Structure 1
Amino acid sequence: MRQIGIWLDKKKAHIVDIHDGRVSLNTILSEVEDFHPSGGFGLGYKGSPQDAMAENKYMKREKQQLKKYFKNIVSAVSEAENLVIFGPAETGEKFYKELTESYSDIKAKVKDVVKTDSMTKKQVKAWVKEFFNIPIRVKGFLS
C-alpha cells in the first residue's frame, strides 16, 4: 500500500512516500511570487483604482502559478492509495479545493486536511508515519 503525506505552503511541498516499508521524501518548489505592496501603484495613495487593478492582476497571476504548482504535486502523488494534506496557512485547503474541482480521482484518496505549524523534513516524515500508524525506528529499536 502506498501512503503519501503532503506538507505544503506557498513556497514548497514536502512529499513523504511510504511504500513497501520504505520512506522517501521529495520536495517540490513552487514558483508563486511574493507580493508586498509598499504603497499606491498609480495615484500616490494606497487603495486607489490603479492600486486595486494591480492587486487584481497579481491575484490572477498567483492563481495561475498555484494551479501549475498543484499540477506538479498531483503528478508526484498520482500513484498513492491514501493521502493526507497538512501544513500552515490555507495552501492545503486551496490544494484540496483544486483536487475537488480538477482531480476527483486523487481527491477520493485524501483521508484528511490538517493545519499544522512549519516543520523540519524530519518532523514531516515523523508526522506522516504517525498519521498512518507506521512504527517509528529510534536508534535501531521499534518504538
Structure 2
Amino acid sequence: MENYKQIGVWIDHSKAHLIGFKSGQAKLLETVDSPYESIKRIDGEGKDMTRFSPNPEHASNNEHKKHNTTQNEINEYLRMMEHRLQPFEDILLFGPGTMKEKLKNRLKENKSFDGKWLSVESSDKLTDNQLLAFVRDFYKKESV
C-alpha cells in the first residue's frame, strides 16, 4: 500500500473505502465490497412464520438461520478489514451506522493492533472528493 502509515476507512455494511494519507495528500487506495446482503430472499421461500400461526411473533427456524447467516457475513467482512488494516499505524474509522464501532471493537480485541492509534468519527455518505477531504482535514488537524 505504498508505505502509507495513516489511513482513513469510510465503512458501512455494504462497502469500505480505504483512503491513505501521506505528506498532506489523501489517496483512495481500495474499495472493499462486503459479503453482507441486507435482503435475502430465496426463490420459492415462504414467509418467516410458523406453519400453524400467521402471527409474526412466532418466528420459524428460518429466521434463526437468516440471523446466523447474517452474523457470519458480518464477521467475514470484519475479518477482511482487519487483515487489510494490519500494516497501518494510525487508523481513522468513519461513516454512518454501527459498522465502524463493530470494527473498532474487533481491532481493540486483536493484540496485533495494540499500540496503534484508532479514532472513530461519524459522517454521512460522501462523494469520492468529500472522502479524500475528510481524511486530509482530519489528519492535518491532528498533526497541529
Structure-1-length-normalised TM-score: 0.78
Residues in 1 aligned to 2:33 and 2:129: alpha-carbon distance in whole angstroms: 18
Residues in 2 aligned to 1:68 and 1:40: alpha-carbon distance in whole angstroms: 25
State percent identity of aligned pairs.
Answer: 24
Residues 36 and 47 of structure 1, relative CA distance in 2, 3 Å threshold: farther
- Matched residue type, 1:98: R
Alignment of 1:28 with 2:35, yes or no, is no
1:57 equivalent in structure 2:
65
Residues in 2 aligned to 1:130 and 1:80: alpha-carbon distance in whole angstroms: 18
CA contact (8 A) 1:39 1:45 kept: no
1:139 equivalent in structure 2:
none
1:141 equivalent in structure 2:
none
- Matched residue type, 1:109: K
Residues in 2 aligned to 1:42 and 1:20: alpha-carbon distance in whole angstroms: 60
1:138 equivalent in structure 2:
none
Q: How many residues align?
A: 131
- Matched residue type, 1:32: Y
2:22 equivalent in structure 1:
19
2:95 equivalent in structure 1:
87
Offset of 1:117 from its aligned partner? 0.9
CA contact (8 A) 1:39 1:46 kept: no
Return 5+ residue gaps in structure 1 as ranges.
135-143
Query: Could you give the per-residue CA deviations for residues 123-143 of structure 1, whole angstroms, max 9, x where no partner exists?
Result: 111101111007xxxxxxxxx
Give me the CA root mean square deviation: 2.4
Query: Could you give the per-residue CA deviations for residues 23-77 of structure 1, whole angstroms, max 9, x where no partner exists?
Result: 3311000010113799543333312141xx3333222212211121112222222
Alignment of 1:68 with 2:72, yes or no, is no
1:128 equivalent in structure 2:
135
CA contact (8 A) 1:96 1:107 kept: no
Structure-2-length-normalised TM-score: 0.77
